[in-house]
Chain A
Amino acid sequence: MKFSFRSAPSALIFVVIAAVLAPLAAQGQFLHPKVSDKEKTLRNVVILPAKVDIVRTGMKGPEGMAAESEALSARVEKAVADVLASQKRIITLSGPAMSSDGGAQAKYTVADIQAKFDDLLPKVMKKRSDVKKGRFTMGDEVLNLNLDKSADAIIFIRGGGQKLTSGKKTFNVLVGGTPAYLSLQIAIVDARSGDVLLYTDPAFAGDPTTAVDRLRKALEKGFKKLPGN
């Protein structure tokens, strides 16, 4: 086949777009056999504090958006709870005490479980399909969270994204580059055994601080396979 110079720019544009959107397109959902076989039903869940961090990328590199990241984390937690309630009739219970009322030990326990999940997450992300084999577990240490007795599962939320400055947007239009996006990693973990019951990684292109509808749609899609009540 003869290569046409005329088609080079469009081929390049296709390759660039495909490369940029690849992480977004790779999203999927993976269920533990206990969930897919309906051996385990989720009725009540607890969402641990989400850690979603975004940056503002400009022509001089990324800048932190600490306050916006905190607000977005809270918004993602709420959106997950809303989607689970409306689509799957799963109730979100209040989480473990992280305030000073619970004392340092309560805070440390949550921090240590979150750290344990941060250890496990890269392994899950490396071979997401192994969730279907029931390979990943956090162990019975999750019981140390002392959650409500009716809690069936714990939800861990991580994520990252970027918002572009107007200068960077213009630059991207002219030269190309990663667009504004939000990419989430959500795992539902058995509240008693610590087994990873579901892993999903919804993502969307767009300003993560304002795209409320896109967030909701991405989450609905992310939990599509999860059996409801």
Chain B
Amino acid sequence: MRRSSFPLSSLTAALCVCIAFTTIPPVAVGQKKTAPVEATPPPVRDEFKFEKVDLELREQVELLDRRFERDGMVLEDAATSAYLTRIGQTLIPKQPVIDNVTPKELVIENVTWKFRVLRDPQPNAFALPNGSIYISSGLLALMDNESQLAAVLAHEMTHVMRRHQYVQNRSNRKKYLTMNVMAAVGAYAPGGIAGAVISIATTIAPFVVMATMYGYSRDLEREADHRAIDMMISAEYPPEEEIGVLKLLSKDIEGEQISLFYNDHPALDERIKYWISDLGTRAVEITPQMELNREKTRYFQQMEPLMRHNVELAINAARFRSAVYFAQRLVEFHPESSENVFLAAEAYRTLGPRTNELSAVPLSNGAKKDLAKKREKQTPDEEERDLLATPQGQQNWRDHQQQAESYYLKALTLNDPVPTAHRGLGMLYEKLGRNSEALAQYEKYVELAPSAFDRERIQKRIETLRRT
């Protein structure tokens, strides 16, 4: 009897279909053109009925919340949390006034609002369907005022109120699109805390990555933008500040090829255009409160500790150019702060032989891709070593070490000088081979900060220097 066999052409065709199916770029999801959204949707998707799949998703995101917290990814700062919560609560739509009764906040089934800061120097924000809104320290440090923060919160809150995550999750399951997420994330996820967030989210709730990394469908994003305007106006935030946020997000300090989370919603330029057009149709009366909410000083006073923490996170994540940018903003705002000046010194010291800005002109996509590939292969130490072998790298290092030294010395002359400036000077001198000066600075640091968390590390350096 003749054995049956598959014709080769069928096998080839089947393989081609498989390959094509698994290599559809996820970004194509966000580019889908569909009908425009309704003009003024109600704040909450009332018609939404929870199904088993939605409740399962809710359970997973509750665990995701706990995991972010347990793994030290959430900033535990009562003042910042209270500040975010206050703004968030102001934005929550109120029920209409009936019979002179004080309007109450809308109660939404299966939503408990939580406003949290992710310890992540990369600018991004996302919402979970249970009402947890995450905003990264990198995005908070990039903003200029409270209204810009309100714009981001209003946008993310709309995703929750309009049940966008559940809608998107159901849609993804139907389309099998999440199957591609793992491969896509594997290819593009950055390192550090941003990478960890993506990696955890991918495995716990893949929809989060689909929605936040690649954007919701274009209509849902537009709806969130549209609703955010209403929420901002009723909470007395000038709505045009959202445009300011979008412009800030278009800054590409690190020359990153892959846009993440909040900045990958419909192309920023397009969003700016339709925001301007949406705003043009409304006559927004600027109130004194709106003017107040636009104040930079007030926002910076509130955010200064977080911005400092973000500089440290940026240095730790090898985002040295961002660290310099954020530290300079801090020094400009409060030049008499020893801590701010110290952070600027740290930023310049760790910037080392790298250029302050990637290039005078915006990098092409190809150049960004090359940069990303290089980052994948090289450690920061190897990058420095290679740069120091070039005349430009040597010049940069000379400039930056001088800048760092002058900032460290200045930090020590200001009121309440931070002992960490001695540690920084020690590290700088050690790198420059000025060992006796390094030793003296380290000893001073240990003397001034005997219970510092990094005492053991510095003590070990002291011992090594004493031996040499």
Q: A residues touching B (Cβ–Cβ < 8 Å)?
A: 3, 5-6, 8-9, 12, 49, 51, 53-55, 60-67, 69-70, 98, 104-112, 114-116, 118-123, 126-127, 135-137, 140-141, 143-144, 146, 160, 192
CB pair A143 B203 closer than 8 Å: no
Shortest Cβ distance from residue B57 to the other chain A in the assembled complex, whole angstroms: 8
In Å, the complex CA distance between A120 and B380 comes to: 10
Q: What is the bound-complex CA distance between A120 and B203, given in angstroms?
A: 21
Distance to closest chain A CB from B92 (angstroms): 28
Residue among B182, B193, B200, B378 making CB contact with A62, cutoff 8 Å: B182
B97 at the interface (CB under 8 A from A): no
A residues less than 8 Å from B64 (CB atoms): 64, 66
Contact A110 B378 (CB under 8 A): no
Interface digits, B371-408 against A, CB 8 Å rule (1 contact, 0 not)? Answer: 00000111101000000000000000000000000000
Q: Nearest-CB distance from B7 to chain A (Å)?
A: 7
- Residues of chain B having any CB pair with chain A under 8 Å: 3, 5-8, 11, 56, 60, 63-64, 67, 70-73, 76-77, 119, 172-174, 176-179, 181-182, 191-193, 195-196, 199-200, 202-206, 313, 316-318, 376-379, 381, 453-454, 456-457, 460-461
User: Are A119 and B176 in touch, CB under 8 angstroms?
Assistant: no
Taking CB atoms, residues of chain B closer than 8 Å to A65 are 203-204
Instruction: Report A-chain residues with C-beta under 8 Å of the C-beta of B76.
Output: 104, 107
Does the CB pair A55–B193 fall under 8 Å? no
Closest chain-A Cβ to B178's Cβ sits at a distance in Å of 4
Choose one: A5, A106, A144; the contact of B7 (CB below 8 Å). A5
A140 to chain B, nearest CB (A): 5
Known: A66-B63, A114-B71. A122 touches B6 (CB 8 A): no
Complex-state Cα separation, A104 to B117, whole angstroms: 14
Listed from nearest, the 8 A-B pairs whose CB atoms lie closest are A111-B72, A53-B203, A66-B63, A119-B191, A61-B178, A143-B457, A64-B204, A107-B72
Q: Which of B5, B73, B174 has a CB less than 8 Å from the CB of A6?
A: B5
Q: Which residues of A contact B176 (CB under 8 A)?
A: 60-61
List, in ascending order, chain B residues with CB within 8 A of A54's CB.
203
Q: Contact at B60–A120, with CB atoms within 8 Å?
A: no
Could you list some 15 contacts between A and B, CB below 8 A?
Answer: A8-B5, A61-B173, A62-B179, A62-B181, A64-B204, A65-B203, A65-B204, A115-B193, A115-B316, A122-B376, A123-B376, A137-B379, A143-B460, A160-B203, A192-B460
Cα(A106)–Cα(B70), bound, Å:
12
Chain B: minimal CB distance from A96 (Å):
11
Given contacts A114-B196, A143-B460, contact A98 B6 (CB under 8 A): no
The smallest C-beta distance from B174 to any residue of chain A, in angstroms, reads 8
- Residues of B near A146 (CB, < 8 A) are 453, 456
Q: Which residues of A contact B179 (CB under 8 A)?
A: 61-62
Report the Cα distance A108→B137, complex, angstroms: 14
* Closest B residue by C-beta to A9: B6
With A54-B203, A62-B178, A118-B196 as known contacts, state yes or no: A5 contacts B8, CB within 8 Å: yes
A-side interface mostly: helix
Q: How far is the CA of A73 from the CA of B200 in the complex (A)?
A: 13
Q: Which A residues are in CB contact (< 8 Å) with B72?
A: 98, 107-108, 110-112, 114
A123 → chain B closest CB, angstroms:
6
Distance between Cα atoms of A20 and B379 in the complex (Å): 30
Question: Considering residues A63, A115, A122, which has the most beta carbons from chain B within 10 angstroms of its beta carbon?
Answer: A115
CB distance from B198 to the nearest CB of A (A): 10
Q: Which residues of A contact B199 (CB under 8 A)?
A: 51, 53, 118
Q: Which residue of A lies closest to B77 (CB)?
A: A104
B200 touches A8 (CB 8 A): no
Residues of chain B within 8 A (CB-CB) of A140 are 457, 460-461
A57 CA / B462 CA spacing, docked (Å): 53
Q: Which residues of A are found within 8 Å of B377, using beta-carbon distances?
A: 123, 126-127
Query: Taking CB as reference atom, which chain A residue is nearest B205?
Result: A64
A40 vs chain B, min Cβ distance (A):
16
A69 touches B5 (CB 8 A): no
Docked pose: A198 CA to B24 CA in angstroms: 37
Known interface pairs A118-B191, A118-B196, A140-B457. Does A98 touch B70 (Cβ–Cβ under 8 Å)?
Answer: yes
Partner of A64, one of B8, B60, B376: B60
Could you tell me the distance in whole angstroms from the C-beta of B34 to the nearest C-beta in chain A?
Answer: 22
Compute how far the CA of A98 lies from the CA of B73 in the bound complex, rounded to whole angstroms. Answer: 12
Q: Which residues of B contact A122 (CB under 8 A)?
A: 191, 376
For B379, the chain A residues whose CB sits under 8 A away are: 120, 123, 135-137
Q: Quick one: which of A110, A114, A116, A118 has the most chain B CB within 10 A?
A: A118
CB nearest to A61 among chain B residues? B178
Q: A143-B460, A160-B203 are in contact. Are A66 and B67 (CB under 8 A)?
A: yes
A120 to B206, CA, bound (A): 24
Known: A61-B178, A116-B316, A123-B376. A111 touches B119 (CB 8 A): yes
Q: Which residue of B lies closest to A106 (CB)?
A: B453
Among A54, A105, A119, find the residue whose CB has the most chain B CB atoms closer than 10 A. A119
